[in-house]
C-alpha cells in the first residue's frame, strides 16, 4: 500500500505559490484589457445588450459540446472531433487551433461567437485533457474527464464572498463531479441522450454559471473597435492559454495530493493563498 510522503519539496512549494497567485485572482480580463489598451471596467460596458443575453446560452452550448466529446472518448478510446490529432498533440497545438477559430469568428464580430466559442471550448477540452494526462490522471476514468470540464469553472472570479478560494470552489464542485462521473460510468455514451438527468444538469449548470463570466470578458474585449480577425485570434490564444494554466495548476495540485496526501497539500496551498492575498497580481504570470 502506498503511503503518501507528507513533506513537500522546495520546488513543489514554489509551484503551490504560483498556483495560489493565479487561481485566487484569475487574470484573463486584466490580461486582455492590457492587450487591447482599455480598462477592464470599460470593456464590459462595450458589450452590446443583446450579447449579454446570449452569454448564458453560448456557455451551455459550449460545455455540452465539450461534454459530448469527453463521454464519446470513453467508449471509443480516441478523441473524435479533430480527426487524427489525439491529446498527445499537446497544448501548444490547441492554442494555435483556437487562435485560428478566433480569427474566423472575429470576421463576423461578436455574433460569430455563438459558432466560434463552442468550437474553441471543444479544442480547449482536448488541451486540458492532455494536461491531465501529463499529470498522471487516467483519461479512461469518467471522473478525470469530469474534472477536465470542471476546469472551465475554476477560471472565473468569485461569485460571492464565501467563494473566495480555489479550494472552496473545489469542495462546492466535488459532489457534482462525482455524481456526473458515476452517471456516465453507468450509462456511458447512452447518457448523452439523458441530458435532463439531474446529475448532469446540476454539473453543467454549476460550471456554466462561472464559465459565462469569462465568456463575457472575452466578448467584451472583442467588442473593441479594432481589426476583428486579428484581435479574435490573439484573444482566443490568451483565452486558451488562460484555461491551460488553470488546468496545469488544478491537475498539478491533484498530482501532489496523490503523492503527499490531501491534507498536507491543501494546508500548504492555504498558506500560499494567504500570502497571495497580500500581493498584487504578478504581471509575469498574467
The CB density around residue 157, as the number of other CB atoms within 10 Å, is 16
- Residue 60, C-beta contacts closer than 8 angstroms, at least 6 positions apart: 204, 208
In tens, the pLDDT along 93-144 reads 545 555 445 444 444 456 666 778 888 888 888 889 889 999 999 988 999 9
Of residues 75 and 246, more confidence is placed in 246
Phi-psi region of 191 (alpha: psi -120 to 50; beta: other; left: phi over 0): alpha
pLDDT at 279 over 80: no
pLDDT (0 to 100) of residue 82: 36
Is the Cβ–Cβ distance between 207 and 154 less than 8 Å?
Answer: no
Q: What whole-number distance in Å separates Cα of residue 70 and Cα of residue 180? A: 12
Q: What whole-number distance in Å separates Cα of residue 235 and Cα of residue 98? A: 9
C-alpha distances in angstroms, 93 versus 76, 86, 129? 22, 11, 13
pLDDT (0 to 100) of residue 277: 78
Is the Cβ–Cβ distance between 192 and 200 less than 8 Å?
Answer: no
The CB density around residue 92, as the number of other CB atoms within 10 Å, is 12
Nine cell digits for residue 210? 462561472
pLDDT at 20 over 50: yes
Q: What angle do CA 178, 4, 253 make, to 5 degrees?
A: 50
Q: What whole-number distance in Å separates Cα of residue 91 and Cα of residue 207? A: 22
DSSP at 8: P
pLDDT (0 to 100) of residue 24: 86
Confidence of residue 159 (pLDDT cuts 50, 70, 90): low
Nine cell digits for residue 129? 485533457
pLDDT (0 to 100) of residue 11: 97
pLDDT (0 to 100) of residue 73: 74
Q: What whole-number distance in Å separates Cα of residue 243 and Cα of residue 230? A: 20
Of residues 12 and 95, more confidence is placed in 12
Of residues 51 and 83, more confidence is placed in 51
User: How many residues are there in the chain?
Assistant: 286
Q: What whole-number distance in Å separates Cα of residue 211 and Cα of residue 56? A: 9
In tens, the pLDDT along 170-183 reads 998 999 999 999 99
DSSP at 136: T
Q: Judging by beta carbons within 10 Å of its beta carbon (0-12, 13-18, 19+), is residue 35 exposed, middle or buried?
A: middle
Q: What percent of the chain has pLDDT over 90?
A: 29
C-alpha distances in angstroms, 269 versus 67, 131, 212? 29, 20, 27
Q: What angle do CA 267, 151, 271 make, to 5 degrees?
A: 15
In tens, the pLDDT along 69-100 reads 887 777 555 544 333 334 444 555 545 555 44
Confidence of residue 281 (pLDDT cuts 50, 70, 90): very low
pLDDT (0 to 100) of residue 119: 83
pLDDT at 264 over 80: yes
β strands within 154-209, DSSP E: none
Nine cell digits for residue 39? 480598462
Q: What whole-number distance in Å separates Cα of residue 166 and Cα of residue 20? A: 8
The position carrying cell 497544448 is 91
Amino acid at each position: 500500500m502506498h503511503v503518501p510522503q507528507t513533506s513537500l519539496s522546495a520546488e513543489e512549494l514554489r509551484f503551490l505559490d504560483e498556483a495560489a497567485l493565479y487561481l485566487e485572482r484569475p487574470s484573463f480580463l486584466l490580461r486582455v484589457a492590457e492587450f487591447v489598451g482599455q480598462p477592464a471596467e470599460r470593456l464590459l460596458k462595450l458589450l452590446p445588450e443583446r450579447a449579454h443575453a446570449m452569454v448564458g446560452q453560448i456557455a451551455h452550448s459550449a460545455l455540452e459540446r465539450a461534454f459530448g466529446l469527453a463521454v464519446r472518448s470513453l467508449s471509443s478510446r480516441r478523441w473524435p472531433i479533430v480527426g487524427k490529432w489525439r491529446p498527445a498533440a499537446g497544448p501548444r497545438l490547441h492554442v494555435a487551433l483556437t487562435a485560428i477559430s478566433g480569427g474566423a469568428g472575429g470576421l463576423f464580430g461578436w455574433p460569430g461567437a455563438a459558432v466560434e466559442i463552442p468550437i474553441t471550448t471543444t479544442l480547449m477540452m482536448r488541451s486540458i485533457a492532455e494536461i491531465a494526462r501529463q499529470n498522471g490522471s487516467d483519461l479512461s476514468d469518467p471522473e478525470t474527464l469530469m474534472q477536465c470540464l470542471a476546469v472551465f469553472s475554476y477560471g472565473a472570479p468569485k461569485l460571492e464572498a464565501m467563494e473566495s478560494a480555489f479550494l472552496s470552489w473545489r469542495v462546492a464542485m466535488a459532489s457534482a463531479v462525482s455524481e456526473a462521473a458515476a452517471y456516465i460510468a453507468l450509462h456511458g455514451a447512452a447518457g448523452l441522450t439523458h441530458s435532463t438527468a439531474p446529475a448532469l444538469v446540476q454539473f453543467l449548470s454549476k460550471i456554466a454559471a462561472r464559465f459565462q463570466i469569462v465568456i463575457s470578458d472575452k466578448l467584451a474585449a472583442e467588442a473593441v473597435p479594432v481589426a476583428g480577425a486579428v484581435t479574435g485570434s490573439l484573444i482566443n490564444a490568451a483565452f486558451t492559454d488562460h484555461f491551460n494554466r488553470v488546468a496545469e495548476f488544478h491537475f498539478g495540485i491533484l498530482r501532489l495530493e496523490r503523492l503527499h496526501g490531501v491534507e498536507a497539500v491543501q494546508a500548504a496551498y492555504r498558506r500560499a493563498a494567504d500570502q497571495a492575498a497580500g500581493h498584487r497580481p504578478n504581471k509575469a504570470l498574467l
